[in-house]
Structure 1
Amino acid sequence: MAHVLPDEVMSAAQAGDPEAFSRIYAALAPAVAGYLQARGAEDPEACVQEVFLTVFSRIGTVRGGYQGLRTLAFSVAHARYVDEVRRRARRPRLAEYDPDTDTRTADSAESLVLGSLAGSEVGQQLQALNPEQREVLLLRVVADLSLEQVADIMGKSTGSIKQMQRRGLLKLKSLVERQEVLV
């Protein structure tokens, strides 16, 4: 369950209170970072900073209290991730790989994320879903957003989000059941 801030914090932030901004950041940033990391953002921490710069610059326009703010934060996070994917597609980085000269010792961000999820093999199972189902489940579970909020973020109807969630969960269930049979 997501941490909920009282409406007074939102009002104080809209009035420019720095402490209110800190409380909002502390409440939302971990979930936003988790969402961006699970999506595979190259630098989730930097992306979180960009998200909150945008959110805080638009805080005066937020309606719906804290839940409206959460929806805005994850909408911005989703948009930043989409922008990153588009930027990567436009400017592919090509480099010749020579294992003899490769001195890297750290795993890639993707390997770290999948490794952190590998305890229950959730990462592999999520990869088995289609991208929209995966996105819906990440926004619903990691970001703890409502169906309506996810629908707003993804630009789809609540009914289609429900259906994608249902199908994604059914697919995950069948993968887990299949894995249990193999064990």
Structure 2
Amino acid sequence: MSRIGKQPVEIPSGVEVKIEDGKVIAKKGNLVKEVDTRNYVDVKIEDNKIIFSPKGEDRQSRAFWGTYRALTNNMIEGLVKGFEKRLEINGVGYRAAVSGKNLELQLGFSHPVIFPIPEGIEIKVEKNIIIVKGHDKQQVGQVAAKIRSFRPPEPYKGKGVKYVDEVIIRKAGKTAKK
């Protein structure tokens, strides 16, 4: 039994949810998100809550039961609040700036790294902090991971791009012999 799948998803005010052809479609203003559940999970709306149940007793249906509930919850939470990831740049001469639809990063290479900002993502830079915001949790995480991959933090000095809450375990450098 899925502990997460059993929990119903509350529909907040201002969000319109409907089920069409096995797809859960949520709307708020002009934002539309959908999750396709038709093969493994039954979905129904009862008194302002979305309820999920597996279609069969097979392993696949039970596995997707909690997954689709979590995806739907993230979809609704993204429409209401949005998601945010914060990245920190550490290093002498390392900096970031948003210019138009691009994020320009100076990360110690001989050239600037230019990252085109995808549709549906908003990026702001405050000093050495890059803030990635959006309505899709997966897309926000993917963009943040891509930015981090340009110069991951190294364990000796901690230079590079890291998540704000990430802890870098430092290594001791070389020691001189006496």
Shorter-chain-normalised TM-score: which range? under 0.3
Give the structure-1-normalised TM-score: 0.26
Higher relative contact order (CA 8 A, sep 6+): 1
Give the structure-2-normalised TM-score: 0.27
Greater share of residues in helix: 1
Please tell me whether Structure 1 or Structure 2 has the larger radius of gyration of its CA atoms: 2
